[in-house]
């Protein structure tokens, strides 16, 4: 068995690999960039080596630095995780040339399947059906519309664009090539005919060094937005035993065609008429591998390490048991078209539920930067049936507290509760087609959050400059002359309260949002947790304050409330036609110059945040003025980059 393992990755996957390695008695070494110095994966490993730098190119994509870290720590093996360099044959070859064990497929297998163009050609030769398309990006008219432009070396939805007409091709092609080059180091793209209402099915495979390949059933990854998976499950509710057998046979043929060793995934597209097509093969472990682990009982990372150490696969594969569903929690705002969010997690609290596993790359105090992917954690549940798993995952998401930045939790809940998902009628374009965003709180959620903020304010002990309690047994707002009315302004609306004479801790409240009145009794807060009773109805919440914002987690929803400042806001309002950065990021391209005439909808500035491009377009016809965007510059959310007047 491997003795000491360098984990050439970050976040939840690095921590997850370390967990299995520790169980097997393998020492682990993390690597980290400057922004990740205090990250969860650093503390999860036995040792950690600084790579020095902020960007992925300076750190996690730097092969010489990774090999130097392995040498300094005395490692005998390297595990690449997923993303970054996990599918780069250059790293695999460099590790082997350094005399180390590479936990992954042979470099030649990565080369054969890492490029989708070459992979398609090999699959055709192996008798595996592929989606009709072309390897020539200028062949769009022959392929037909709608079509997909895809990055040859891509994954995770990056370098991918859906095109409906010839007029859209030039901009979509250029954008896909730029994004592919930035994410994967190659701007090569190809075209595939778009299959509407298709389901994304993938087969997990394992191959050992003795030439044996087995399939470990399938996963359904059809719940996607912007071509990126958000909810995955195993087995697929849309795959019959007979179809499963056909898909597994095709996946095994695909792996055998490139003499595959280690864990990999063959991704397929299932059309409405029951036909399936090869999409790509991921020559690494997948983000969604835990659902396969849940239904098989096998630890896939353990088998990666055992295979890399020269062990054969067992004679029999495990039986399929129950159902598992995984939800990816992202730092992004569904109300703003899923724009990535950056900031500090002020409160991270996870529930304990039977069958629940959480793979997280964050905790309270973690800083989510603009440099890396915005995924925070994965919630995986197992249950005897799909419906039980779905219900457990809903409960887990409702109880999870992640405060300090906006997440897609409400969208995940909306997906899981939607009748189409319940009946497995969803497809890869379903989220956008149905507009399933989760935007808009559940009934009563806003009021519960406001009351929680009020309860926290009323229950927080008053202290002097030395931290000593001031009149701890006297109700807040109490005066010996008369009961004083007071209010808390939240989003410009007041919650008024008045202490009740003779009832310490009791308050008469009037909610300006709903006009409802009631008697509020506050219990002493315990850290971020606060409990209160409204007319005898006891509720709990988690609450943290960040300057003028109050972040509240309740069972109904997570809400960010803005307290009105004590003094008027004297900041100058932005002029009409302003181009404002929607999130922190880096200016990738500036398509215009000051003084240029533009038309509404024209692409003006391209930002890159968390490995994804975001285009600022002209809000109206006019002339570009006050252009402040500079290529390569880092910008903050809300920063004025230009004006179209």
Q: How far apart are CA 566 and CA 147, in angstroms?
A: 54
- Confirm if 189 and 152 have CB atoms less than 8 A apart: yes
Residues whose CB is less than 8 angstroms from the CB of residue 187 and which lie 6 or more positions away in sequence, other chains included: 177, 178, 180, 181
Is the previous residue joined to 146 through a cis bond, with omega within 30 degrees of 0? Answer: yes
Q: Can 484 be counted among the known catalytic residues?
A: no
Estimate the crossing angle of helix 300-308 against helix 289-296, to 10 degrees.
Answer: 90
Sign of CA dihedral 240, 246, 249, 255: negative
- Confirm if 566 and 425 have CB atoms less than 8 A apart: no
Q: How far apart are CA 608 and CA 582, in angstroms?
A: 11
**SS3 category, 421:** helix
Among all chains, which residue has been given the structure tokens 């992202």?
330
Q: How far apart are CA 482 and CA 461, in angstroms?
A: 22
Q: How far apart are CA 298 and CA 289, in angstroms?
A: 10
Tokens standing for residue 333? 């705002």
Question: Within 10 Å of residue 432's Cβ, how many Cβ atoms?
Answer: 13
Among all chains, which residue has been given the structure tokens 């795959």?
239
Tokens standing for residue 191? 């075209």
Q: How far apart are CA 459 and CA 570, in angstroms?
A: 32
Residues whose CB is less than 8 angstroms from the CB of residue 122 and which lie 6 or more positions away in sequence, other chains included: 112, 113, 254, 257, 258
Closest alpha carbon to 145 in 88, 210, 82, 194: 194
Tokens standing for residue 75? 């490692």
Q: How far apart are CA 12 and CA 519, in angstroms?
A: 44
Strand order in 161-163's β-sheet? 133-134, 189-193, 147-151, 161-163
**Residue 122 parent element (H or E):** helix 116-125
Report the 3 state secondary structure along 365-415.
Answer: CCEECCCCCCEEEEEEEEECCHHHHHHHHHHHHHHCEEECCCCCHHHHHHH
Distances (CA, A) of 377 to 1, 30, 218, 328: 29, 18, 22, 6
> Per this entry, what is the length of the chain?
645
Distances (CA, A) of 181 to 184, 488, 602, 612: 5, 50, 23, 12
Is the previous residue joined to 549 through a cis bond, with omega within 30 degrees of 0? Answer: no
10, 188, 284, 392: which one is catalytic? 284
Tokens standing for residue 157? 């939805």
- Confirm if 304 and 103 have CB atoms less than 8 A apart: yes
Tokens standing for residue 90? 């250059």
Residues whose CB is less than 8 angstroms from the CB of residue 448 and which lie 6 or more positions away in sequence, other chains included: 539, 541, 554, 556
Q: How far apart are CA 588 and CA 584, in angstroms?
A: 13
User: Which sequence positions are flagged as catalytic?
Assistant: 284
């Amino acid at each position: 068995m491997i003795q000491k393992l360098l984990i050439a990755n970050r976040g939840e996957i690095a921590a997850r690999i370390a967990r299995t390695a520790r169980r097997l008695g393998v020492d682990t070494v993390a690597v980290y960039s400057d922004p990740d110095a205090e990250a969860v994966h650093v503390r999860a490993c036995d040792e950690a080596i600084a790579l020095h730098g902020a960007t992925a190119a300076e750190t996690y994509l730097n092969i010489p630095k990774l090999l130097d870290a392995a040498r300094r720590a005395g490692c005998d093996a390297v595990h690449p995780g997923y993303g970054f360099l996990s599918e780069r044959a250059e790293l695999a070859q460099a590790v082997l040339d350094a005399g180390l064990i590479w936990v992954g497929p042979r470099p030649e297998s990565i080369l054969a399947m890492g490029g989708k163009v070459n992979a398609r050609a090999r699959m055709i030769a192996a008798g595996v059906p592929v989606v009709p398309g072309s390897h020539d990006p200028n062949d769009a008219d022959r392929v037909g519309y709608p079509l997909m432009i895809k990055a040859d070396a891509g994954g995770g939805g990056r370098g991918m664009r859906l095109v409906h007409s010839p007029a859209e091709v030039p901009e979509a092609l250029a954008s896909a090539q730029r994004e592919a080059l930035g994410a994967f180091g190659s701007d090569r793209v190809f075209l595939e005919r778009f299959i509407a209402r298709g389901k994304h099915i993938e087969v997990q495979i394992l191959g050992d060094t003795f030439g044996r390949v087995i399939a470990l059933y399938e996963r359904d990854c059809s719940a996607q937005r912007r071509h990126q998976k958000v909810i995955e499950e195993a087995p697929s509710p849309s795959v019959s035993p007979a179809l499963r057998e056909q898909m597994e046979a095709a996946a095994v043929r695909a792996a055998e065609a490139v003499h595959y060793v280690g864990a990999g995934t063959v991704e397929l597209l299932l059309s409405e008429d029951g036909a399936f097509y090869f999409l790509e093969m991921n020559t690494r472990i997948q983000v969604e591998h835990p659902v396969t682990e849940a239904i098989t009982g096998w630890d896939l990372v353990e088998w990666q390490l055992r295979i890399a150490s020269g062990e054969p696969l067992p004679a029999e594969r495990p039986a399929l048991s129950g159902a598992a569903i995984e939800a990816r929690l992202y730092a992004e705002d569904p109300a703003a078209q899923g724009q990535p969010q950056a900031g500090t997690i002020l409160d991270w609290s996870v529930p304990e539920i039977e069958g629940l596993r959480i793979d997280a790359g964050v905790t309270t105090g973690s800083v989510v930067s603009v440099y890396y992917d915005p995924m925070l954690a994965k919630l995986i549940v197992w249950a005897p049936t799909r419906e039980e798993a779905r219900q457990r995952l809903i409960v887990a998401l409702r109880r999870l507290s992640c405060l300090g930045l906006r997440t897609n939790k409400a969208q995940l809940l909306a997906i899981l509760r939607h009748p189409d998902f319940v009946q497995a009628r969803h497809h890869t374009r379903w989220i956008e087609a149905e507009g399933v965003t989760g935007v808009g709180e559940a009934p009563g959620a806003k009021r519960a959050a406001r009351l929680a903020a009020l309860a926290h304010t009323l229950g927080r002990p008053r202290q002097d400059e030395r931290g000593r309690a001031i009149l701890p047994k006297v109700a807040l707002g109490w005066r010996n002359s008369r009961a004083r009315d007071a209010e808390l302004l939240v989003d410009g609306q007041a919650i008024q309260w008045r202490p009740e004479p003779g009832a310490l801790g009791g308050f008469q409240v009037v909610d300006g949002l709903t006009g409802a009145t009631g008697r509020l009794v506050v219990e002493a807060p315990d850290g971020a947790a606060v409990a209160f009773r409204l007319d005898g109805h006891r509720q709990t919440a988690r609450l943290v304050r960040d300057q003028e914002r109050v972040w509240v987690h309740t069972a109904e929803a997570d809400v960010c409330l803005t307290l009105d400042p004590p003094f008027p806001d004297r900041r100058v309002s932005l002029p009409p036609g302003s181009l404002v950065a929607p999130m922190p990021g880096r200016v990738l391209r500036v398509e215009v110059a000051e003084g240029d005439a533009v038309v509404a909808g024209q692409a003006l500035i391209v930002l890159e945040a968390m490995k994804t491009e975001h285009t600022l377009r002209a809000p109206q016809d006019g002339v570009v003025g006050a252009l402040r965007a500079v290529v390569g510059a880092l910008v903050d959310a809300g920063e004025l980059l230009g004006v179209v007047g």
